[in-house]
Amino acid sequence: MEFQAALRRAKHEIALPDPGWYPWDSFGTVTLLDRLLTGPRRFPEPMLGTDPVLDIGCGDGDLSFFLESFGYRVCAIDTPPTNFNRMAGVNALKTALDSSVRIEAIDLDRGFEIPIRRCGLALFFGILYHLKNPYGVLESLASHARYCLLSTAITRFAPDQTGVNHLPVAFLAGGDGLRGDGTNYWIFSESGLRTLLDRTGWEVCDWMVSAAENSVLWETQRDERVICLLRSRSFDATPATQLVDGWHVLESGAWRWTERRFSLSVAPGNQRVALKVTVPENLAPPLILTARVACDVIATHELPAPGDYECAQHIPPGPEVLLEFELGHALPPDAKDGRERGILVRDIEIG
């Protein structure tokens, strides 16, 4: 693919310290999607809507940057201690590609909070057996993601070669992990994996089992892998925001003016709100934009010159949060336009 070639060139030009780049093919699972996905789910738009993608265990971020190249918003997460190069690779590529992918360092086994409150699709490739608490992570993810693409190893046999595929079981690895990898903790039977997914709030949409020819488990049997598309039964599809005061009508189907003071209501559970704004040429710089919740300042943005900006703020939890903005000054009504005009808002991103 053209994107993969561009990615290889970018990596070649970056002097990454040892141990270097993530050595496994991040696109290997993607090649199976044509065989896995059926019906309207073969196309990403019905699954994603306007929500972002969450790439869990992103490695060097290859899939995150690939999806961004199609115009999707992406949040990539991993944990430095177990990431191959402690996340130096994904951060270096973000700079080299001038990317807007959001990168978060999060340990899913240590009281984590998923950094975005809503996503249309979560990528969960090769992560399940690295988790100490896979039940808790999958249950939490179901409340944040509409769909999930998951791949993981499974076993048909116990270590003594007793058949267990029909049983809802999982095996806890010893100190050497699985296949000598101490970061591997659990491996499920196929029935065990289906039970886990059902108990944690997921419905199976598409399911495929394939052999992993180069991987051996329990010293004798070939590894098998499941790749599946899941739909959450816990995802809340409530609209995320509602404009309240200080907004003018939508213009050209793409942007709207604000007044000097404007506000919006954020639905339950959202933590991050980012405004994509434009400061007009005829508004004297510098411009200060202040964000408040319940009269408390939560963010202050300095907009030093006319142009485009992203103004992001994390809001506190609550059943519904009124987010109020105030500009230091605005354009007053004049003979050409009888409205008070502050800035142009092009987009509002939630999560």
Tens of pLDDT, residue by residue over 230-283, are 999 988 765 557 788 999 988 877 789 999 999 998 876 557 888 999 999 999
Q: Are 114 and 140 in contact (CB under 8 A)?
A: yes
Query: Which of 183, 210, 232 is the C-terminal boundary of a domain?
Result: 232
Q: For residue 279, what is the domain's CATH number?
A: 2.60.120.260
Query: Which of 181, 205, 232 is the C-terminal boundary of a domain?
Result: 232
Q: 33 and 73 share a domain?
A: yes
Q: Which of 2-6, 234-238, 333-337 has the lowest mean pLDDT?
A: 234-238
Q: 171 and 224 share a domain?
A: yes
Q: 282 and 252 share a domain?
A: yes
Strand ranges in the chain using DSSP code E only, listed in sequence order? 53-56, 74-78, 102-105, 119-125, 145-154, 170-172, 186-188, 202-217, 221-232, 241-243, 247-251, 255-258, 261-266, 272-279, 287-293, 296-303, 307-314, 321-327, 344-350
Q: 55 and 162 share a domain?
A: yes
Q: 183 and 302 share a domain?
A: no
Domain boundaries, position 72: 2-232
Question: Confidence band (pLDDT; 50, 70, 90) for 75?
Answer: very high
Query: Which of 182, 208, 232 is the C-terminal boundary of a domain?
Result: 232
Average pLDDT of the segment spanning 74-97? 94
Q: CA-to-CA distance for 55 and 36, rounded, in angstroms? A: 19
Total number of domains constituting the chain: 2
Query: What is the distance between the terminal CA atoms of the chain, rounded to a whole angstrom?
Result: 30
